[in-house]
A and B are shown apart, each in its own frame.
Chain A
Amino acid sequence: MTVATMVRPRRRARLPFSPWHLVLIPATIVLIFPFVWLAVTSIETPAEALHFPPILDPHTLRLANYPNAWHSAPFGRFFLNSAVVAVVTVLCNLVLCSLAGYAFARFRFLGRGVLFVTIMATLMVPFQVTMIPQFIITKWLGVNVLAGVGINHIGALILPNAATAFGVFFLRQFFRTLPLEYEESARVDGASRLTVLWRIVLPLSLPALATLAALTFLDSWNSFLWPLIVITSTGQMTLPLGLATFQGAHSTQWTLLMAGNVMSLLPMMLIFFVAQRYFVRSVAATGLAGT
């Protein structure tokens, strides 16, 4: 991502850099601080990690924490499971939530209001209460519909989240901010509603789609409680469950846990880094003159 410093009209404060840095740098320090702690602890020896207050300048480094953590459980398998679940969940959400969000945003149909309220309502009940019926439904589906979405299959991690009220709500809000002219002129030209969505609306919505993709990926990657309930064999575990194996009831292997956490973070950071340029709509993609 190329970053160019814009030529600014001369203002009163003649700083050689944008004054916004003065705000962003302290903010970044505050935001990044826990990562520093995480990363430093992950390369410490247990002797120095078991300190309070935490030691941020260790005498001895132990990079072996990383291979040790990796080998203490089948992390390759955990990564693969988490990746498959996350990617498929994101794709399903992009498709299903675009369709539904667009309909809620633009179409008038009987029951639209009630339906929207109902799906929003699904966000309002805490998981502690819904996990048991969800478990029972998942089990039933696995037995009666498709084994791949039943208990102890990663399909069971994908399906309940293949479309979320969050995604529908988010895209509905976003679609409503788009000016209607483009869609309407396309309809006048005879395009079907689906084509309008696919060819006009979605290209204009790249920032929102990228955002939804990143957030959905994040949610799926870090999801712990539902996989805990549903997965009953080690080979199907996802990354958060794998990381939990470092935490016993009374003793935690901090250095390995932090190393595992850092390894778990990296794919997400990579995705955010890559997706960053989609968060910002490039001029060419908008097709709007003068922007």
Chain B
Amino acid sequence: MAASPAVAGRRRGQARAAPRRLMASEQFAGWAFVTPGVAIILLFGAVPIVWSAVMSFQRSNLLTPSTPFVGLSNYRQMVHDPVVQQAIMHTLVYTALFVPGTMVVGLFLAVAMNRQIRLLWLYRTAAYATMAISTISEALVFIWLFDPSYGIVNYLFSLLGISQQQFLNSPSQALYVIVVMTIWGWTGFAVVIYLAALQGVPQTLVEAAAIDGAGPWSTFRKVTLPLLSPASLFLAVWLTINALQLFDEVYLSTQGGPLDATTVLVYYLYEQAFQNFNFGYASAIAYFLFIVILVVTAIQFRVGRRYTYYRS
């Protein structure tokens, strides 16, 4: 909740000085402003959430209309499913690496690009371009780059004296290759967000800090970063929500393999729904994931409240 200084000033034309909290015109304005957008979001977003919750208590194969109610049996099956446990692990590991990785790389590049230097247009275009490329092209390139026999990465490794790695062929390495692939794919997004946020960092403050004798790193840490914190919170939340729902890159490269090493929760529920025709079970997994994301996001907002600094 932002700290809104309660400027209890006289407002021309307003007879009463009502406590801000319950001002009717603000209530009305609030609801009037949000309704059009929220109506659309809820119609196409909230209804499916309720629907999937209902589905998770049924046995459904999407083929026949008969969907008998089976209570908690889908959830019980989830608890005993070793692949679900693996998928949870993979999803969490992936998210823990991807989110900070992308934020750091994105912030670094955005700071680098937030200055008047030559070729700036090229650097920025390169960053944005990574968002424009289709996922399948991205997947194909990385499959090639990380090919154990023919890929460039192993070639560079051989030059540096590092032994050849199996990458996507190795159950212990495949997930990390996907991490690298997706960090690459999302860097542009982080750069764009941070660049926009960096515009809100007034040069006056930065210069004032320099005048006071702070070095560039200190200034960055004490002035810039806090002012970027709303953007960081936004990125952290958004990237996490996406990371926990990773699907496309896995589908287009390893199909959950090798040996389920890259099976993340959404990929597993896709398999359950459209390969095993187990839609009720898939809905239960989706709902479980939904709760996880909700909790993680709530925690992020709570922690963020302590550390984000809004200038208002």
Counting CB contacts under 8 A, is A125 at the interface?
yes
- Check A24/B204 contact, CB under 8 A, given A100-B33, A104-B34, A125-B286: no
Q: Which of B129, B193, B245 contacts A126 (CB 8 A)?
A: B245
Q: Which of B46, B132, B192, B197 sits near A269, CB closer than 8 Å?
A: B132
Tally B residues with Cβ within 8 Å of A. 108
Q: Which of A5, A33, A180, A258 has most B Cβ within 10 Å? A: A180
Chain B residues whose CB sits within 8 angstroms of the CB of A34 once the complex forms = 130, 133, 137-138, 141
A211 at interface (Cβ–Cβ under 8 A)? yes
Which residue on chain B has the smallest CB distance to residue A187? Answer: B11
Q: A291 and B202 in contact (CB under 8 A), knowing A21-B117, A33-B141, A174-B230?
A: yes
Contact of A20 among B11, B13, B40, B112 (CB under 8 A): B112
Residue pair A125, B112 in contact (C-beta under 8 Å): no
Complex Cα–Cα for A20 and B64 (A):
61
Taking the closest CB of chain A, its distance from the CB of B208, in whole angstroms, is 11
User: Does residue A176 face the partner (Cβ distance < 8 Å to B)?
Assistant: yes
Instruction: From B41, B234, B247, give the contact of A119 (CB < 8 A).
Output: B41
B188 contacts which chain A residues (CB < 8 A)?
31
B170 within 8 Å of A (CB atoms):
no
The reply to whether the CB of B107 lies closer than 8 angstroms to some CB of chain A is no
Say whether B238 contacts A169, CB under 8 Å. yes
From A109, A165, A240, contact of B26 by CB (8 A):
A109
- A35 with B34: in contact, given A24-B113, A133-B51, A215-B192 (CB under 8 Å)? no
Q: Is the interface of A mostly helix, strand, loop or mixed?
A: helix
Docked complex: B218-275 residues within 8 A CB-CB of A: 227, 230-231, 233-234, 237-238, 241, 245, 247, 266, 269-270, 273-274
Stretch from B96-104, B159-167, B287-295 contacting the other chain: B287-295
A137–B20 alpha-carbon span in the complex (Å): 39
Residues of B within 8 A of A272 (CB): 125, 128-129, 132
Docked Cα-Cα span, A129 to B52, in Å, equals: 7
Residue of A whose beta carbon sits closest to that of B297: A120
A126 vs B248: C-alpha distance when bound (angstroms): 11
Segment touching A, from B71-79, B81-89, B143-151: B143-151
| Interface residues in A14-32 (C-beta closer than 8 Å to B) | 17-18, 20-21, 23-24, 27-28, 30-32
A23 to B197: give the CA distance in the assembly, Å. 21
Q: Answer whether residue A166 sits at the interface, using C-beta atoms and an 8 A cutoff.
A: yes
A225 → chain B, closest Cβ, in Å?
9
- A125 near B113 with CB under 8 A, answer no
Closest to B131 in A: A218
Does A169 lie within 8 Å of B234, measured CB to CB?
Answer: yes
How far, in angstroms, from A164 to B140 measured CA to CA in the complex? Answer: 30
- Given A176-B310, A179-B311, do A110 and B27 touch, yes or no (CB 8 Å)? yes
A177 close to B200 (CB less than 8 A): yes
Within 8 A of A (CB), among B163-201: 184, 187-189, 192-193, 195-197, 199-200
Query: B125 touching A128 by the CB < 8 A rule?
Result: no
Interface residues of B in 38-71 (CB under 8 A from A): 38, 40-49, 51-52, 55, 62
Q: Which of B47, B116, B286 contacts A4 (CB 8 A)?
A: B116
Task: Give the segment of A60-68, A76-84, A275-283 that binds chain B.
Answer: A275-283
Considering the complex of A and B, which 6 residue pairs feature the smallest CB-CB distances, nearest first? Answer: A122-B45, A109-B30, A163-B37, A130-B48, A96-B37, A103-B33
Q: List 13 A-B contacts (CB under 8 A).
A: A3-B118, A23-B108, A28-B122, A28-B126, A103-B34, A122-B44, A122-B45, A126-B245, A126-B269, A163-B37, A193-B29, A264-B134, A279-B196
B-to-A contact residues, CB < 8 Å: 2, 4-5, 7, 9-13, 20-21, 26-27, 29-31, 33-34, 36-38, 40-49, 51-52, 55, 62, 108-109, 112-113, 115-134, 137-138, 141, 144, 147, 150-151, 184, 187-189, 192-193, 195-197, 199-200, 202-204, 227, 230-231, 233-234, 237-238, 241, 245, 247, 266, 269-270, 273-274, 282-283, 286-287, 289-290, 293-294, 297-298, 310-312
